Structure 1
Amino acid sequence: MLRRLPVGAPLPDAGLKRVLGVGSLLTLGVGGTIGAGLFSLTGIAAGDNAGPAVIVSFAVAAIACAFAGLCYGELAGMIPSAGSAYVYAYAALGELAGWIIGWDLVLEYTVGASAVSVSWARYMRSLLEGWGIHIDPRFMASPFEVVGMVDGQPVHGLANLPAVFIIFALSALLMRGISESARLNGVIVVVKLVIIAAVIGFGLPYINTANYTPFIPPNTGEFGHYGVSGIMRAAGLVFFAYLGFDAISTVAQETRNPGRAMPIGLMGTLAICTLVYISFSFVLTGLVNYRDLAGDAAPVATAIDQTPFVWLKAAVKVGVICGFLSVMLLMLLGQSRVFFAMARDGLLPPMFGRTHKRWGTPVACHLFFMVVTGIMAAFLPITQLANMTSIGTLLAFVIVCVGVMVLRVREADRPRVFRVPGGMVVPIAGIISCLVVMVSLDGLTWLRLVVWLAIGLVIYGLYGMRHSRLGRDMPAMHDRA
């Protein structure tokens, strides 16, 4: 008999505190979505693929995300539980599908947080050196990275201690309480948006309108190199700049009135981020000709050189650092809530399904991932960490859209606080758009995903399937019947 979480059943008392409102969800979402990708992906997508029409690419990617976001909103209202896509898949498609998505999301959040912490450490080093503060580079790199030469011999890093420090500090904050974390995140997001607004505002008067011609550069004969195909290839690239917003749904069980707040938080985040991305790309491609952005590792610095405001370069570094902080905060939060939900359902050891009596947070989950993520950040180079892309998040998007369709049939009469408009059109469009992006990813990315899922299936077979709370309850329910 297929094990499925019952939709509409009272949620078990998880010990999580419902303290978040719409404002907190918006700051968490914006903070987790607008990261350093804004400062790098925009230039790459414009220079190599779309030209000034990268503005259209951001809009196309936003539409694809909106399909999934609407589906998240409907399911979050029906099942306001921690765990996000894991819980939705468990309820709609069964325990095995839930495990696969949950296991996959845990990897995505963990690897993502580690990679971002390494990048954060690099930007901090650059900022500190600009202030005359120097740190031994061996303590800011992994043992696999060369940091210099002595007597003709390479000197390798020892451990990336700043990356470990920031992982530990943010984990400690998250353990202390979700409301405290949300307040700090709100401050970080304000700082980040002010700096982005400064770049846009101070850059506008120096735009050269000739840089927008041609708005859609003619295709060179190679797919994805300008023209319409270039716009679509760039949309696939910048799609990953939106992937943080889905983690909002992991705090549904800590949200007041989630049926109303979740859809607003999800779609509001997407709207704000889209406006920021389009405005930023408009100014960037207006300041610098798209041809000069091709292969540029620091496109924003190049754009700022077109203005007399040298201080903006330092401000952008501060903006990137703040961007990294809020992204890490949401990733660490998301991974702990998914792990917590899986443990609460018996698929992982029960110690991970308990909350601190006073703080109301899953401290064991935070401690576990603080150590794991910290070790990865300390000893693995960013090139290795970044190899795991967002394929798992896209897979979660697909499952969520499928879940809406399944529950529309199986639970047709169940009331929904928020209902995706257009019947099955939006879920189907979400599935297609996400699958198109997934298919475009390289084979090595798929191989890593398959290997990780295979490891997860072994753990599920040895532990999760045997200790499942739903598996224990079903025979008892059958006996009573």
Structure 2
Amino acid sequence: MNGLFVRKSISSLQSEAQQSGAKTLKRVLGPVSLVALGVGVIIGAGLFSITGMVASAYTGPAITLSFVVAAIGCCFAGLCYAEFASMIPVAGSAYTYSYATMGELIAWIIGWDLVLEYTVAATTVSISWSRYLVVFLQGVGIELPHSLTACPWDGGIINVPAMIIVVLMSLILMRGTAGSSFFNGLIVFLKIGVILTFVVLGWKFIQTDNYVPYIPENTGTFGHFGLSGIFRGAAIVFFAFLGFDAVSTAAQETKNPKRDMPIGILVSLLVCTVLYVLFAHVMTGVASYTQFGGQEGIAPVAVAISNMGVPDASGVIQPAYPWLNKAIILAILLGYCSVIMVTLLAQSRVFLSMSRDGLLPPFFSKINERFRTPVHSNALFMVAVSLLAGLIPAQVAGEMTSIGTLLAFTLVCAAVLIVRKTMPDIPRAFKVPFVPIIPILGILTCLCMMCFLPADTWIRLVIWMLIGLDVYAAYGIKHSKLEPGMKHRKGDMVLNILGIALSVMSVITGLWHQQTVGWEADKTLLILSFIFAFTHLAYYMLRIWKHAQEIKIEQKV
């Protein structure tokens, strides 16, 4: 197969993985480092923020069951990732896997998608890190000026702490993955230690009455408690598991990727599931799930700790461990550091792979000979993410959830089915069991999760994908190393049709969003979606016309 669906051969990917030297990534990561990498990025904003909200609004104490359901869904995708990571042990994650199985155009879509998701994740967590820092410093009597800790939309000027943490994490990555791996391992050790401390100290303050009823009766509205509430809760807490796929982007820095990548992905997922269930069990045991509603639910840990104690004569609970609140916030700050670092690492490695394939300029695939890291890619994302973190509100960044990552998961699961048919003899150290059942369950799970996402998320995804198609049409399609220098490539019409389809989808999602929020509400996203739709509709129609004219001229000649 050639043209826009040309596939990278598995043998070339495997030979690329075997390369060594001053201009290649240094192999320093073992299975323990990979597990730490996975746990470091998975345990982040989700555990410390959304658990209380989900428990109070959808699940009650049964949030533990929601975590189990979500973990099972992640496991399906994780098994598929593990097979590809052992078969194609190179940097790039779902991008590389798609390139080898579904072709260049699909790989570009996935890679561009992942860049967006990692950018938004790093931005959101850095803004949240800034807020936790302000709270922590207030606890020790230090007040930071609001104008320098909030963006213009939140009443400030610029969010300096959010920008600083992005720059610091980027500089650590630029110096090399070995140092960043040690740093990440230390943070993960401290973070897990504090979580276990919370579980152990809180266990004796569990009030079994708080677990009755364990699954609150449905209110009559779908998704609000009852069985449907557990599954809606699973759809929301699913995003607390996102990140295990980031482990696969470090394949070229792994000593023995065929053996260690499956271990890193699956063990990190297992460790996080156990920690999440224990954490949620103690959290809803020491305090009633109804206490996690409203503004206080944003910081569920603080609510739970305030209930770890005995009531005084007036019936007010006196916290037994007032010091624990500061320790937890400190752990969250450290934990967020590891999340930011790993997402920035994953971003730059996906860009590195796309640049090496000729789909992006070679500037992004240059390896610094001293540190043997892609300094240019790291520097680009350091500037982009720090500016976003300093100038946009957390709500805007947070609304762009992991729809793209779920799409990547769906395609990776589908790719396993394709590879088992088209490349059955390719050696792989790990195989997904019960094919085709596991990949199909993974596809269905991810698609269901995507259906829970709001319309404005779809608008931003469609707009980003249209921009990505523009970049590919203007640069990547002409500079691909698999088919260099070709004026016309087979499948170009598919690209144009995809551009037109996304333009139509931009109109549909814009109308859907406006219908959801009300026609009297702000219409900025609707107008933006229409502008992108009609300009790109004209652009891709023009490409079709030009292509037809060039073919006519060639036929006459």
TM-score using structure 2 length: 0.82
| Residue equivalent to 1:158 | 157
AA aligned to 2:458 is W
How much does 1:198 deviate?
Answer: 1.1
2:99 — aligned with what?
90
Give the whole-Å Cα distance in 2 for the aligned partners of 1:305 and 1:44: 17
Stretches of structure 2 that go unaligned for 5 or more consecutive residues are: 309-319, 488-557
Runs of 4+ with >3 A deviation:
none
1:321 paired with 2:330, answer no
Aligned to 1:206: 205
Provide the residue aligned with 1:454 in structure 2.
466
Pairing 1:9-408 to 2, within 5 Å after superposition: 9=12, 10-11=15-16, 13=19, 15-146=24-155, 157-295=156-294, 296-307=297-308, 308-408=320-420
Give me the whole-angstrom Cα distance separating, in 2, the residues matched to 1:473 and 1:254: 32
- For residues 118 and 424 of structure 1, the distance between their equivalents in structure 2, rounded to whole angstroms, comes to 41
In structure 1, C-alpha distance between the alignment counterparts of 2:133 and 2:199, rounded to whole Å: 23
CA distance in 1, matches of 2:28, 2:127: 31
Q: Secondary structure at the match of 1:319?
A: helix
One-letter amino acid of the structure 1 residue matched with residue 30 of structure 2: G
For the 8 Å contact 2:50–2:298, the answer to whether it is kept is no
Q: Equivalents in 2 of 1:370, 1:450: separation in Å?
A: 25
Instruction: Output one character per residue of 1:256-314: Cα deviation in whole Å (capped at 9) or x when no partner.
Output: 11111010000000000000000001001111112222332322211111121111111
**Residue 439 of structure 2 corresponds to residue 427 of structure 1:** yes
Whether the 8 Å CA contact 1:140–1:162 is kept in 2: the answer is yes
- Cα deviation for residue 129 of structure 1 reads 2.0
- Contact 1:8/1:78 (<8 A) preserved: no
Partner residue in 1 for 2:494: none
Aligned-pair CA distance for 1:48: 0.8
CA contact (8 A) 1:16 1:361 kept: yes
8 Å contact kept, 2:154–2:393: yes
CA distance in 2, matches of 1:141, 1:220: 38
CA distance in 1, matches of 2:148, 2:452: 37
Structure 1 letter corresponding to 2:324: L
Letter in 1 for 2:10: V
TM-superposed deviation, 1:452: 0.5
CA contact (8 A) 1:15 1:354 kept: no
For 1:305, the aligned partner's letter is S
Distance 1:160 1:280 in 2: 31
- Is the Cα contact below 8 Å between 2:59 and 2:216 reproduced in 1? yes
Q: Which runs of 5+ in 1 are unaligned?
A: 147-156, 476-481
Q: Quick check: which has more Rg, 1 or 2?
A: 2
Q: Tell me by how many angstroms 1:126 deviates.
A: 1.4
C-alpha distance in 1 between matches for 2:465 and 2:430: 32
Shift of 1:474: 9.4
Percent of aligned pairs sharing the same letter: 50
The size of the alignment, in residue pairs, is 465
The alignment partner of 1:224 has SS state of: coil
Once the two structures are superposed, residues 38-72 of structure 1 have per-residue CA deviations (whole angstroms, 9 ceiling, x without a partner) of: 12221111111111111111000000000000000
8 Å contact kept, 1:21–1:255: yes
Q: Which residue of structure 1 aligns with residue 10 of structure 2?
A: 7
Instruction: Tell me the amino acid that sits aligned with residue 180 of structure 1.
Output: G
Could you tell me whether the CA contact under 8 Å between 2:478 and 2:485 is conserved in 1?
A: no
Higher RCO, 1 or 2 (CA under 8 Å, sep at least 6)? 1
Alpha-carbon shift at residue 160 of structure 1 (Å) = 1.1
State the TM-score, normalizing by the size of structure 1.
0.95
Distance 2:367 2:471 in 1: 24
User: Displacement of 1:473 after TM fit?
Assistant: 9.0
Distance in 2, matches of 1:468 and 1:234, equals 43
Contact map agreement 2:68 2:273 (CA 8 A) in 1: yes
Residues 107-137 of structure 1: per-residue CA shift (max 9 Å, x gap):
1111211111111111111111222222222
8 Å contact from structure 2 (residues 364, 377) kept in 1: yes
| RMSD (Å) for aligned C-alpha atoms | 1.3
